[in-house]
Amino acid sequence: MTNKGLLWGKTAIITGGGSGIGEASAMRFAREGAAVVVADIRRHKSDIVVSEIEARGGVAIAVEVDVADEASVSAMVDACVDRFGSLDVLFNNAGTLRPGTAVDLDTADWDLVMAVNVRSVFLGAKFAVPHMRKRGGGSIVNTASISGLHGDGRAVVYAASKGAVINLTRALSTDHAPEGIRVNAICPGTIATPPVQRMMANPDAVEVNLRAHSLGRIGQPAEIANAAVWLASDEASFVTGEAIVVDGGLRAQSPLGVMGDPRPGR
């Protein structure tokens, strides 16, 4: 992992780095030459990822963080700067979901999801931007979702939070472009993260998801990591304020299916 790559010489924080998209991104960022802070609320998960990175010759540290807590996020950024001397990339990837409609969703669940998914992006920028400003620029990447672009059933707070992440991304990009800081979001489709894999134990869920994606499969965490690396790198130097969809063609195809075929979704 020490060969020069797209992120050679950069330092990066990845939240939710202990599993799924965050784990895949931490591994890929390190392979591209970044020194990585693997941040997760589950410290033991971060430790495992750091061990894997170090075994492959990369540089990383594990940090326990509650991304919804101001003091915890501040300490995470300080840990990065104290260890590596700078901060170039922040990947606000941590997130959570609670299913439900406005009628049956608990208010506490609304507050939790909005805090973990939206407040975290605000707090990450609050503490990362001053350090990026000192470096003359940087890149912030936020994990949104295609659920932030349309209305999924029984996902009232998840859809609202991810829509907020997308527009927060645009607002941050506008505020900090003069400082050389780019801010973008990734909107994944269905990705084989641990929660999705548990859902896929239901054969009906497998069929629905395979049919929904025009590529005929769900995505892999590494495929979102690929997009995150590119957005974090200088190759995306003229890209800011964007919500990049990585969804295997889910949004591209009409739910009506093939013209002339009466079967829905065919």
For the chain, give every domain's residue range: 11-189+217-246
Collapsing DSSP states into helix, strand and coil, what is residue 98? coil
User: Best-predicted range by mean pLDDT among 28-37, 187-196, 208-217?
Assistant: 28-37
Tokens of 58: 């990369």
Is the predicted pLDDT of residue 260 greater than 70, yes or no?
A: no
- Does the global pTM surpass 0.85? yes
Is the predicted pLDDT of residue 40 greater than 50, yes or no?
A: yes
Residue entry with tokens 């890929």: 28
Model confidence at 242, in pLDDT bands (50, 70, 90)? very high
Model confidence at 164, in pLDDT bands (50, 70, 90)? very high
Query: Mean pLDDT across the chain, nearest whole number?
Result: 95
Tokens of 110: 């609304």
Torsion angle of the four alpha carbons 193, 194, 200, 206, in this order, in degrees rounded to the nearest 10: 10
Q: Strand order in 35-40's β-sheet?
A: 59-64, 35-40, 11-15, 89-92, 138-143, 181-188, 243-246
Active site residue 158: yes
| Mean pLDDT, range 233-252, rounded to an integer | 97
Catalytic one of 29, 91, 127, 158: 158
Q: Are 82 and 10 in contact (CB under 8 A)?
A: no
183 forms beta bridges with 140
Phi-psi bin for 180: left (phi > 0), alpha (psi -120 to 50), beta? left
Residue 225 DSSP symbol: H
Helices (H) and strands (E) in the chain, counts: 9, 7
63 forms beta bridges with 39
Cα angle, residue 148 at apex, residues 251 and 99 outer, rounded to 5°: 105
Is the predicted pLDDT of residue 204 greater than 90, yes or no?
A: no
Is the predicted pLDDT of residue 1 greater than 50, yes or no?
A: no
pLDDT digits (tens, 9 = 90+) for 129-140: 999 999 999 999
Its CATH class, for the domain covering 11-189+217-246, is alpha beta
Tokens of 152: 């999924």
- Write down the pLDDT at residue 200: 79
Residue 148 DSSP symbol: G
Model confidence at 2, in pLDDT bands (50, 70, 90)? very low
Is the predicted pLDDT of residue 239 greater than 90, yes or no?
A: yes
Q: Are 66 and 94 in contact (CB under 8 A)?
A: no
